C-alpha cells in the first residue's frame, strides 16, 4: 500500500531520452497498403498521402486514451518529430509526435474526448489539395465511431439556421458603421466545440456581443445551468451534446424566459422532491374517497390532548391499525411484476419544512401505543426542523399520511411517493348535516379522506375495504388507546 | 526593450547577484511577480528579553572594519546615533529586518508613511490569498464531476460578493495588526511619516503639514517596496480599468474582464474571476502565456488553468490604449503587434485589470542627497544589498532591500534580504543565495518553483561544461493526491547527474506552494540528491511526490555522499 512502491506508475525519464521514448503516431508503412487494398478504385498516389493519426498505446494496460489537448490546430503544418497532441492514458499525460510531414487536415476526436487505442483521432494530409478529401474522411470516421463522446460533425449538420433563433428582445446598442463581431471567451470556446459559425450570429449580450448562451441557442443545446445574479454556476462543461444532438427539437418546447424573471436553483431537498414527483408519473394510480365521522375521535382527542397526543398521532395509529387488516394496502410494487409485502407498518407523515417537504416515519405504528407514538412524533418533528433526520427516519415509510385539514382544506389529492403502495390525504373535519336511516337529521363532524394507490397491486375493492375499516376505527376510537 | 518589458513585467528576473563564481545568468526571462510568504509575525517573546540584555552590549561592540566614514558632502556623520538601525518602509521586508535586528540587540526604528504591512499585507499576497481561498472552494463545489467522484452531492453553489470582499479585508487587517503588535512588543519604534534620506546616516520623516523630524542611525535600510506598474496609454479609473490594488477590494465581478499580463498576478486573478463566474481574456506581450515559468510547467499549467476555463488570450501584443467604460460604451483596448507595432485588434470588454508588473516606489527618498541614481526607479545595490552611488562606489551604512532594489520582487525575498543585511551590520558577513528562494503562484492547483528553469540550467551547463538531467514525477501516482481526487500535476527536478546538485525544482499540483520548501531548503543548505533521497516522508502525504522525485533522479555512483556527521544512535 505504501506509495513508494507504486513506482511503476511514476513517469520519470531523463530528458536526454525524452524524444526517443515518445510514442510515435504512425505505426507502420503497411497502413497505406491496407487502405489501398480496401479502396481499389482510388488512385494510389492520392490515397496514400492521407494518413490517419491513431490513438497510441502509451502503456501496456492502456485500452483507451483521452485527448487532453491538440497542440496543433486543423490546417497547421506538421513536421516530422513535432508534438501534435497530448494524450492522457490511465497513468500519465504524454505528448505524441508525428512521424510524417504534412498538414493536420482534420481532428476527428476533439479535446476532452476519449478514443480506443488504435482508433483514428486525426487525419493528416500531405498537401493542401488533399485537405478536403481528408475532411470528408474525417466526417465519415466520426460518424461511424463508437466512442462515447458524440461526434462533433453531426451537431453542425443538424443545427437549425442559427440567426433566426436569436431572440429579439435584447436590443443591441447603437452601432456605428460596420461592426466587428465581439464574442466572449467562453462563447468562442463553445462555438469551436459545437462548430457554430460565430460570424453568422447576432449577439444578445451587452453591446451586442455574442454570449455563451447565444452559441448554445445556435447549437441547439439547452443551457446547462442558468446564472442568477451573484449565484454562480460556472465551469459547466457542455455536458451532454449527445442528448442535444439527438433531440434537437427539444429546446423549442422550452418557452423563452419571461424578461425580469428570477431563477432560483433547487435546494437539495427541493431537488429530491422534484425527482420523486417526476418518478411518480410512471406509476398508474387511482383515488378513492371516503367520508368519516369524527365526533368520537374528536371527543377522544380532547381527552388525550393533555397527555401530549396529537391528532396526527391519532390518525397515524388509526391508519396503522387498519393496515394490519389490509396488508395489501401496505405493500408496494417494486419491479412491476410482484407484490412486496412489508413486514412492518411504517407510517410516513408529510411535513412542510421551510421551503421543503419531508416525510418523517413513525416506525411500527401499529405496535407502539398512542402515547409512545406521540412522543416519537414530537422527536421526529424536532429533528426534521434541525435537519438532523437520519435516512431511515424519512425513507422507510410503507404508507404515507398527508393532512391539510388544519388549514381548512376539505379534500385534496396526494401524489403517490415512489416505493409505496398508497398515500392517504386527510381533509378537515367539519360539521355536516346528515340524515340517518330513519330520516332524522343530525349534525355530525365529517372528514373526507382520499387515498391514492398503485393500481398494479391495490384495486378499488381493496381500498374500499381498507377505508371502511379505517372509518370504523375512527368512529369507535377507544381501540386506539389500548 | 523597455517597452517590451513593461508589458509583461518591470523586472528582469535573473540579474541575481549570487556567488561570484557563478556567472550571472542572462537577463532572459522576465517575470512579473509580486507575491509573498509572510514571515512569522514574531519570533516569539524570547526575542524581547534577549534584546534587553543585549542592548547593553551595544556600546562595547566595535564598528565593523568595512565601514569607513566617508561623507564629505554633507557634514560629518553624527558621533552618536538615535538608533542602531532605521528601516524606511514597514512592509514584509522591513518587518523581517526589524525583528531580526531586535534579536541581534539593535535599537531599531521603522518609518512608515502609509499602513504597516506594505503591499503584501494590505494590497497583495495576503488579501489575494483570501480571494483565492474562496475561489478554490467555489471551484470544488462547482465541479459536479469532482464531487460526484467523491460521492458528494452539492446543490448550486453561490456566493455573496460583499462577504467575499469582507473576508479579504478582514484578513488584511488581522495580519496588519499582528505585524504591528509583534514589532511593538519587541520594542521597535514605529515612526509615522514618509522617510527621506537627508545625508549619510541621517533620515527625516514627517507627515504632510507637520514639522519634519530628523533621526540618525548607524545603518539605514531602504525598504519602500513597489506600486502597480501601469504602462502609458492606459487610463486607470479604479472602476472598470483597475490594478490589483482595486481588484483586491472586489467591488465588482465583471462578466468579462481582460487581464493585461499573464504573470503571477494575472494568473491568480484569472483563477479568482473565473471561479466567481467571469470570463477572462489575457493580453500578453510575449509570445507565450506565463513567461517566467519553466516552459514545461507553463504548458501544463496552460492546459489545466487556461484551456478548460472560460479564458481566451492574445499573445505577442501590447495594449497601447485602454479607455475605461463611459457614456454607455464598454472598456476598449487597442492592441498592436509586439514586434511589427502594427495595430492588430480592438477589444471591447466590461473591465480590464492591469497586471503588468510592479514599479519600485522610490520617489522622494532623497537619494540625490547622497548621489545615488535609480535605474528605472530601482535602487542599485550589490550582492550584499549595499547601495551603489552614481560613480559605482558603495554608499556606506545604506542598504536597500525588497522590491525597491528589484532583485527578486517577492515579499519573502525582501525579508530574507533584510535579515542578510542585519547579519552584516552585526558583524557577520552574509550573502543571500537568491537561487534558494522559492516562489509560488496560488492558482488551483498551485504552481511553485525554486532555482533555475530547464532552459536556464541548460544554458548554464553549456557555459560551464557540465551535464544536466531532468527527473519528473506525477501527482497521479501519489496516494494522497488521488484520495483528494486531485491527481493532476507534476514535479520536475533539474539536477547535475555528476555530483547530485539540485539546480531547480518546479511543481504544479495540489498544494505545490507548500511542497516546494523541501527543495528550497535543500538548495539553501547545499544538500545533494544522493543524501536527501534517504530522508523519510510520512505516508501517505503529498510530500511523497518530492520523495519519489529525488529517488528517481539518476546521480552517478561516483558522486560523493555526505559522510554521516554523527554516529547512528540506537533508540
In the 3-class helix/strand/coil scheme, how is B125-190 assigned residue by residue?
A: HHHHHHHHHHHHHHHHHHCHHHHHHCCCCCCCCCCCHHHHHHHHHHHHHHHHHHHHHHHHHHCCEE
Q: Output phi, psi for B402, to 5 deg.
A: 80, -155
A 10 A CB-CB count for A237 gives: 12
Please, what sign has the CA dihedral across residues A208, A213, A216, A218?
A: negative
Question: Taking residues B62-69, what's their average pLDDT?
Answer: 43
Question: Taking residues A401-410, what's their average pLDDT?
Answer: 88
C-alpha cell at A201: 450570429
Distance of CA B185 to the CA centre of its chain: 27
C-alpha cell at A80: 516530422
Rounded-to-integer distance, Cα B111 and Cα A332, Å: 80
Which of chain B's residues have a Cβ under 8 Å away from the Cβ of A92? 474, 476
Which of chain A's residues have a Cβ under 8 Å away from the Cβ of B158? 228, 230-233
Question: Taking residues B173-180, what's their average pLDDT?
Answer: 94
Better pLDDT: B310 or B9 = B310
B326 touching A (Cβ < 8 Å): no
Give me Rg for the CA atoms of chain A: 34
A455 in catalytic set = yes
The average confidence (pLDDT) of chain B is: 85
Q: With contact defined as beta carbons under 8 Å apart, do B228 and B358 qualify?
A: yes
Rounded-to-integer distance, Cα A105 and Cα A49, Å: 12
Residue B430, pLDDT > 60, answer yes
- How many percent of chain B have pLDDT more than 90? 72
Question: Do you know the residue count of chain B?
Answer: 571
Rounded-to-integer distance, Cα B338 and Cα B284, Å: 9
Q: Which helix (H) or strand (E) holds B457?
A: helix B454-464
Could you tell me which residues come within 8 angstroms of residue A347 by beta carbon, excluding any fewer than 6 positions away?
A316, A319, A320, A361, A362, A365, A397, A398, A399, A400, A401
Rounded-to-integer distance, Cα B110 and Cα B178, Å: 16
* Per annotation, catalytic residue among A192, A455, A456, A472: A455
Whether residue B330 and residue A206 make contact (CB cut-off 8 A), yes or no, is yes
Half-sphere exposure in the Cβ direction for A433 (13 Å, CA): 3
Rounded-to-integer distance, Cα B450 and Cα B507, Å: 9
- How many percent of chain A have pLDDT more than 90? 21
Which of chain A's residues have a Cβ under 8 Å away from the Cβ of B350? 206
Residues 347 through 376 of chain A touching chain B, CB cutoff 8 Å: none
A93 touching B (Cβ < 8 Å): yes
The highest-confidence range among A3-17, A49-63, A162-176, by mean pLDDT, is A49-63
B341 touching A (Cβ < 8 Å): no
Mutate to test the interface with B, among A2, A7, A14 (most CBs of B within 10 A): A14
Q: With contact defined as beta carbons under 8 Å apart, do B222 and B365 qualify?
A: yes
Question: Taking residues A392-421, what's their average pLDDT?
Answer: 89
Where would I find the beta strands (DSSP E) of B187-337? 189-192, 194-199, 202-206, 213-222, 226-228, 241-243, 256-260, 279-284, 311-315, 317-323, 331-337
pLDDT at site A5: 42
pLDDT at site B76: 54
Rounded-to-integer distance, Cα B529 and Cα B499, Å: 9
Could you tell me which residues come within 8 angstroms of residue B55 by beta carbon, excluding any fewer than 6 positions away?
B105, B107
Q: With contact defined as beta carbons under 8 Å apart, do B475 and B544 qualify?
A: no
Residues 139 through 198 of chain B touching chain A, CB cutoff 8 Å: 139, 142-145, 153-161
- Shortest alpha-carbon distance between residue A263 and chain B (Å): 12
Whether residue A9 and residue B547 make contact (CB cut-off 8 A), yes or no, is no
Residue B48, pLDDT > 90, answer no
Rounded-to-integer distance, Cα A370 and Cα B225, Å: 76
Nearest to A184 among B279, B551, B554 (CB): B279
User: What ipTM was assigned to the predicted interfaces of this complex?
Assistant: 0.73
C-alpha cell at B23: 556567472
Angle at A292 between CA A286 and CA A296, to 5 degrees: 155
B459: pLDDT confidence band, cut at 50, 70 and 90? very high
- Shortest alpha-carbon distance between residue B554 and chain A (Å): 8
A192 touching B (Cβ < 8 Å): no
* Beta carbon pairs, A and B, within 8 Å: 138
Rounded-to-integer distance, Cα B318 and Cα B344, Å: 9
A 10 A CB-CB count for A279 gives: 12
Q: Which residue of B has its CA nearest to A16?
A: B469
Rounded-to-integer distance, Cα B414 and Cα B421, Å: 11
- Shortest alpha-carbon distance between residue A237 and chain B (Å): 8
A231 touching B (Cβ < 8 Å): yes
Whether residue B548 and residue A16 make contact (CB cut-off 8 A), yes or no, is no
Give A198-223 pLDDT, tens digit per residue. 888 888 888 888 888 888 888 877 65
Rounded-to-integer distance, Cα A106 and Cα A50, Å: 11
- How many percent of chain B have pLDDT more than 70? 84
Rounded-to-integer distance, Cα B310 and Cα A190, Å: 10
Could you tell me which residues come within 8 angstroms of residue B99 by beta carbon, excluding any fewer than 6 positions away?
B39, B42, B43, B47, B182, B183, B186, B188
Nearest to A185 among B310, B454, B474 (CB): B310
Distances in Å between the Cα of A337 and the Cα atoms of A278, A327, A452, B11 are 21, 18, 20, 76
Name the 3-class secondary structure at A9: helix
Whether residue B311 and residue A93 make contact (CB cut-off 8 A), yes or no, is no
pLDDT at site A155: 40
Q: Which helix (H) or strand (E) holds A187?
A: helix A185-194
Could you tell me which residues come within 8 angstroms of residue B63 by beta carbon, excluding any fewer than 6 positions away?
none
Which of chain B's residues have a Cβ under 8 Å away from the Cβ of A184? 255-256, 279, 310
B300 touching A (Cβ < 8 Å): yes
> DSSP class of residue A319?
H
Residues facing B507 on adjacent strands: B448, B491
Residues 139 through 178 of chain A touching chain B, CB cutoff 8 Å: 173
Amino acid at each position: 500500500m505504501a506509495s513508494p512502491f507504486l513506482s511503476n506508475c511514476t513517469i520519470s525519464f531523463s530528458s536526454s531520452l525524452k524524444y526517443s521514448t515518445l510514442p510515435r503516431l504512425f505505426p507502420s508503412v503497411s497502413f497505406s497498403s491496407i487502405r489501398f487494398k480496401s479502396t481499389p478504385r482510388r488512385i494510389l498516389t492520392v490515397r496514400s498521402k492521407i494518413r490517419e493519426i491513431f490513438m497510441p498505446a502509451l502503456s501496456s494496460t492502456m485500452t483507451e486514451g483521452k485527448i487532453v489537448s491538440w497542440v496543433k490546430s486543423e490546417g497547421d503544418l506538421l513536421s516530422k518529430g513535432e508534438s501534435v497532441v497530448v494524450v492522457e492514458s490511465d497513468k500519465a499525460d504524454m505528448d505524441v509526435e508525428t512521424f510524417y510531414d504534412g498538414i493536420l487536415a482534420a481532428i476527428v476526436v476533439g479535446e476532452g474526448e476519449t478514443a480506443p487505442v488504435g482508433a483514428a483521432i486525426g487525419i493528416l494530409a500531405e498537401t493542401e489539395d488533399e485537405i478536403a478529401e481528408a475532411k470528408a474522411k474525417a466526417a465519415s470516421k466520426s460518424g461511424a465511431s463508437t466512442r462515447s463522446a458524440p461526434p462533433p460533425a453531426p451537431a453542425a449538420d443538424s443545427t437549425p439556421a442559427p440567426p433566426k433563433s436569436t431572440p429579439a428582445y435584447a436590443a443591441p446598442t447603437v452601432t456605428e458603421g460596420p461592426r466587428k463581431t465581439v464574442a466572449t471567451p467562453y462563447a468562442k470556446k463553445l462555438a469551436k466545440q459545437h462548430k457554430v459559425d460565430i460570424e453568422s450570429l447576432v449577439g444578445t449580450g451587452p453591446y451586442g456581443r455574442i454570449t455563451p448562451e447565444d452559441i448554445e441557442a445556435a447549437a441547439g443545446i439547452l443551457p446547462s445551468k442558468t446564472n442568477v445574479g451573484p449565484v454562480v454556476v460556472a465551469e459547466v462543461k457542455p455536458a451532454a451534446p449527445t442528448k442535444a444532438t439527438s433531440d434537437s427539437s427539444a429546446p423549442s418546447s422550452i418557452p423563452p424566459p419571461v424578461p425580469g424573471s428570477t431563477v432560483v436553483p433547487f435546494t437539495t431537498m427541493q431537488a429530491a422532491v422534484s425527482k420523486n414527483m417526476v418518478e411518480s408519473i410512471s406509476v398508474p394510480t387511482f383515488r378513492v374517497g371516503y367520508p368519516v365521522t369524527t365526533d368520537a375521535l374528536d371527543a377522544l382527542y380532547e381527552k388525550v390532548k393533555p397527555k401530549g397526543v396529537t391528532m396526527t398521532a391519532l390518525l397515524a395509529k388509526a391508519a396503522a391499525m387498519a393496515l394490519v387488516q389490509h396488508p395489501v394496502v401496505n405493500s408496494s410494487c417494486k419491479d412491476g411484476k410482484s407484490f412486496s409485502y412489508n413486514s412492518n407498518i411504517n407510517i410516513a407523515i408529510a411535513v412542510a419544512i421551510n421551503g421543503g417537504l419531508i416525510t418523517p416515519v413513525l416506525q411500527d405504528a401499529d405496535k407502539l401505543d398512542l402515547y409512545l407514538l406521540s412522543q416519537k412524533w414530537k422527536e421526529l418533528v424536532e429533528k426534521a426542523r434541525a435537519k438532523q433526520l437520519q435516512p431511515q427516519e424519512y425513507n422507510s415509510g410503507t404508507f404515507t399520511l398527508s393532512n391539510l385539514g388544519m388549514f381548512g382544506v376539505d379534500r385534496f389529492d396526494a401524489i403517490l411517493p415512489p416505493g409505496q403502495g398508497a398515500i392517504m390525504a386527510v381533509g378537515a373535519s367539519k360539521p355536516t348535516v346528515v340524515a340517518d336511516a330513519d330520516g332524522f337529521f343530525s349534525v355530525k363532524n365529517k372528514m373526507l379522506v382520499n387515498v391514492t394507490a398503485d393500481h398494479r397491486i391495490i384495486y378499488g375493492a381493496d381500498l374500499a375495504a381498507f377505508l371502511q375499516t379505517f372509518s370504523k376505527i375512527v368512529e369507535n376510537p377507544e381501540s386506539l388507546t389500548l | 526593450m523597455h517597452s517590451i518589458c513593461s508589458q509583461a513585467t518591470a523586472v528582469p528576473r535573473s540579474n541575481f547577484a549570487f556567488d561570484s563564481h557563478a556567472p550571472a545568468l542572462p537577463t532572459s526571462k522576465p517575470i512579473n511577480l509580486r507575491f509573498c510568504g509572510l514571515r512569522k509575525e514574531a519570533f516569539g517573546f524570547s526575542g524581547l528579553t534577549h534584546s534587553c540584555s543585549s542592548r547593553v552590549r551595544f556600546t562595547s561592540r566595535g564598528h565593523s572594519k568595512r565601514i569607513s566614514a566617508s561623507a564629505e558632502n554633507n557634514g560629518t556623520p553624527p558621533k552618536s546615533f538615535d538608533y542602531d538601525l532605521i528601516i524606511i518602509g514597514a512592509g514584509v521586508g522591513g518587518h523581517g529586518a526589524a525583528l531580526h535586528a531586535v534579536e541581534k540587540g539593535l535599537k531599531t526604528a521603522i518609518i512608515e508613511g502609509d499602513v504597516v504591512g506594505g503591499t503584501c499585507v494590505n494590497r497583495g499576497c495576503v488579501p489575494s490569498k483570501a480571494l483565492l481561498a474562496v475561489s478554490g472552494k467555489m471551484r470544488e463545489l462547482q465541479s459536479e464531476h469532482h464531487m460526484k467522484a467523491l460521492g458528494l452531492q452539492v446543490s448550486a453553489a453561490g456566493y455573496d460578493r460583499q462577504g467575499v470582499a469582507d473576508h479579504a479585508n478582514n484578513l488584511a487587517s488581522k495580519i496588519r495588526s499582528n505585524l504591528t503588535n509583534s514589532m511593538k512588543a519587541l520594542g521597535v519604534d514605529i515612526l509615522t511619516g514618509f522617510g527621506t534620506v537627508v545625508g549619510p546616516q541621517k533620515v527625516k520623516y514627517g507627515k504632510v503639514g507637520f514639522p519634519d523630524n530628523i533621526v540618525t542611525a548607524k545603518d539605514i535600510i531602504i525598504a519602500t517596496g513597489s506600486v502597480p506598474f501601469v504602462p502609458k496609454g492606459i487610463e486607470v479609473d479604479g472602476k472598470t480599468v483597475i490594478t490589483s490594488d482595486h481588484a483586491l477590494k472586489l467591488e465588482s465581478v465583471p462578466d468579462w474582464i481582460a487581464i493585461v499580463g499573464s504573470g503571477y498576478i494575472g494568473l491568480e486573478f484569472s483563477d479568482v474571476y473565473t471561479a466567481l463566474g467571469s470570463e477572462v481574456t489575457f493580453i500578453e506581450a510575449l509570445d507565450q502565456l506565463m513567461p517566467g515559468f519553466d516552459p514545461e510547467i507553463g504548458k501544463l499549467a496552460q492546459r489545466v488553468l487556461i484551456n478548460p476555463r472560460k479564458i481566451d488570450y492574445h499573445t505577442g501584443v501590447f495594449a497601447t490604449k485602454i479607455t475605461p467604460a463611459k457614456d454607455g460604451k464598454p472598456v476598449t483596448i487597442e492592441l498592436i503587434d509586439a514586434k511589427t507595432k502594427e495595430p492588430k485588434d480592438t477589444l471591447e470588454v466590461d473591465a480590464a485589470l492591469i497586471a503588468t508588473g510592479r514599479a519600485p516606489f522610490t520617489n522622494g527618498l532623497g537619494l540625490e542627497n547622497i548621489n545615488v541614481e535609480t535605474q528605472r526607479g530601482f535602487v542599485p545595490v550589490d550582492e550584499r544589498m549595499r547601495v551603489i552611488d552614481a560613480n559605482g562606489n558603495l554608499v556606506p551604512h545604506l542598504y536597500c532591500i525588497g522590491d525597491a532594489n528589484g532583485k527578486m520582487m517577492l515579499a519573502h525575498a525582501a525579508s530574507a534580504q533584510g535579515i542578510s543585511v542585519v547579519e552584516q551590520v552585526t558583524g557577520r558577513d552574509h550573502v543571500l543565495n537568491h537561487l534558494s528562494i522559492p516562489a509560488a503562484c496560488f492558482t488551483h492547483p498551485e504552481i511553485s518553483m525554486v532555482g533555475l528553469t530547464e532552459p536556464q540550467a541548460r544554458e548554464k551547463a553549456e557555459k560551464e561544461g557540465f551535464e544536466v538531467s531532468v527527473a519528473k514525477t506525477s501527482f497521479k501516482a501519489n496516494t494522497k493526491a488521488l484520495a483528494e481526487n486531485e491527481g493532476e500535476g507534476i514535479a520536475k527536478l533539474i539536477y547535475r547527474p555528476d555530483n547530485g546538485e539540485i539546480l531547480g525544482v518546479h511543481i504544479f499540483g495540489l498544494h505545490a506552494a507548500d511542497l516546494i520548501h523541501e527543495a528550497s531548503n535543500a538548495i539553501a543548505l547545499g544538500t545533494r540528491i544522493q543524501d536527501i533521497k534517504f530522508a523519510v516522508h510520512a505516508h501517505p502525504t503529498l510530500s511523497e511526490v518530492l520523495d519519489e522525485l529525488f529517488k528517481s533522479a539518476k546521480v552517478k555512483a561516483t558522486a560523493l555522499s555526505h559522510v554521516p556527521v554523527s554516529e547512528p544512535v540506537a533508540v
